Amino acid sequence: MARRAKVVIIGAGIGGLAATAALLRHGFEVEVHERAPHLGEVGAGLQLGPNAVKVLRGLGLEERMRQAACEPVNWVSLKWDDASLRFREKLLGEREAEFGAPYLTAHRADLHAALHSLVPERIVRLGARCIGVESRAGSAVARFADGSEAEGDIVVGADGIRSVVREALFGPDAPRFTGQICWRAMVPIEAVPTQVGPGGSVQVKRSEYVGWLGPTGHVICYPIRSGRLYNIFAGRVAHGWAEEGWSVPSTVEDMLNAYAGWNEAMLGMFRVASEVFKWGIHDREPLPSWTRGRVTLLGDAAHPMMPTLAQGAAISMEDGYALARNLARHDDADAGLAAYDRERAPRAGRVQLQARTQFENNRKVPPPPPTDRGWIFAYDATTDMAA
């Protein structure tokens, strides 16, 4: 573009900040409007597959996150009741050799802080609750609860699963409860049981990624914060969910009751947790297109997905980088948005649906091998070849 477009971003989560950082690198003018009174992420772990690390590399953040995160040595799958070994697969170095980047496990707040470090404070407006958007001839405008407006060449809705921007574009559509509720907690790495299985026959390293798999749920554990903490994600099949939001305070007792009868070594680790949250997992049907006029979506606003492939943050980061790349390589904003839509909507939709399939497979007895994620990891959103 002869004149770089002005882009208004609604939402300063991981996807919104990734988009902002990438757009700034390409010379775009950016404004970010966030409804929260301050920036930050709640304490939880996340997984960064090779496709996510490639985005970090493109933003100049790979080394920072390698230092803050962990690269698990192995992927270990244990049976839910007796902790017998289902399989052990090497991770350290393997994903990088095959897909060009490592598989990292990290604290969500560390990733958010790294992305935030690339965004000048002067372009971020906090306490700005978007109530609507409108596409005009050659521009778009976002309206806020305080009566103010923000106009740009493009408005991007990065405002989460209950996106106001999405509703303005496509009408009201309630998220689908997936039949899964989850608890999350963190414990000191010293709390990780290292001898499990029948008679203590299975040795577990604290540097491994460990999954406990049963017909009514799965528990995923991995080291974060350079190996000082152990993140626990405990997913459970459920018939209903009464709470809104995804970080509802819970208790250790609540989590223990949900996993009554599971392996005692795992439950003993649960008992060490000092803070527990739970949430209901929701997603939506894939959208064939994310764009109307000069307004588009990214992240959970476009493609909320189940966590069973651990790709929510990664695909959102891909969105942000791909948005900037497509806008930069086209002569006008409309062509750039169209290219972004063509590239991203099919890929994200496929990941959404595969995440559902993986959830259903996890419930089968015996569960089949994990669905293939190679096609996800091989992707590089920083290159034009991705388009």
The whole-number pLDDT of residue 4 equals 81
Asked if residue 182 lies in contact with residue 63, where contact means CB atoms within 8 angstroms, the answer is no
What global pTM score does this model have? Answer: 0.95
Structure tokens at 264: 């005692």
- Pick 368 or 230 by higher pLDDT: 230
pLDDT at 110: 97
pLDDT at 264: 97
pLDDT of residue 226: 95
Domain 6-175+283-386 grouped into CATH 3.50.50.60: yes
What percentage of residues in the chain have a pLDDT greater than 70?
A: 96
Q: Considering the chain, what is the average pLDDT of its residues?
A: 94
As a whole number of angstroms, the distance between CA 118 and CA 194 comes to: 39
- What whole-number percentage of the chain has pLDDT above 90? 89
Tokens of residue 201, six digits: 């026959």
DSSP assignment string, 253-288 = HHHHHHTTTS-HHHHHHHTT-S-EEEEEEEE-PPPS
Write down the pLDDT at residue 1. Answer: 44
In this prediction, residues 4-18 reach a mean pLDDT of 96
Q: How far apart are CA 226 and CA 68, in angstroms?
A: 5
Residue 2 pLDDT > 70: no
Say what the pLDDT of residue 384 is. Answer: 86
Q: In angstroms, rounded to a whole number, what is the distance separating the alpha carbons of residues 180 and 387?
A: 34
Going by DSSP bridges, is the β-strand pair 124-125/29-33 parallel, antiparallel, or unpaired? parallel
* Higher pLDDT pick, 169 / 2: 169
Residue 326's pLDDT is 97
Instruction: Kindly report, residue by residue over 252-282, the tens digit of the pLDDT.
Output: 999 999 999 999 999 999 999 999 999 899 9
Q: How confident is the model at residue 248 (pLDDT cuts 50, 70, 90)?
A: confident
230 flagged as catalytic: no
SS3 185: strand
> Is the pLDDT assigned to residue 243 strictly greater than 60?
no
**Segment (H or E) for 73:** none
Instruction: Give the span between the Cα atoms of 185 and 234, in whole angstroms.
Output: 9
Q: What is the structure's pLDDT at 244?
A: 47
Per-residue pLDDT of 316-362, as tens digits, reads 999 999 999 999 999 899 999 999 999 999 999 999 999 999 999 98
H or E element, residue 9: strand 6-10
Catalytic residue of the set 209, 222, 340, 379: 222
What confidence tens digit (pLDDT) does each residue in 177-196 have? 999 999 999 999 999 999 99
Q: What is the pLDDT of residues 201-215, one digit of tens each?
A: 999 999 999 999 999
In this prediction, residue 51 has a pLDDT band, given cuts at 50, 70 and 90, of very high
Angle between helix 14-25 and helix 312-328 axes, rounded to 10 deg:
30
pLDDT digits (tens, 9 = 90+) for 94-151: 999 999 999 999 999 999 999 999 999 999 999 999 999 999 989 999 999 999 999 9
Backbone angles phi, psi at 81, to 5 degrees: -100, -50
Tell me the pLDDT band of 241, cut-offs 50, 70 and 90: low
Mean pLDDT over residues 369-375, rounded? Answer: 95
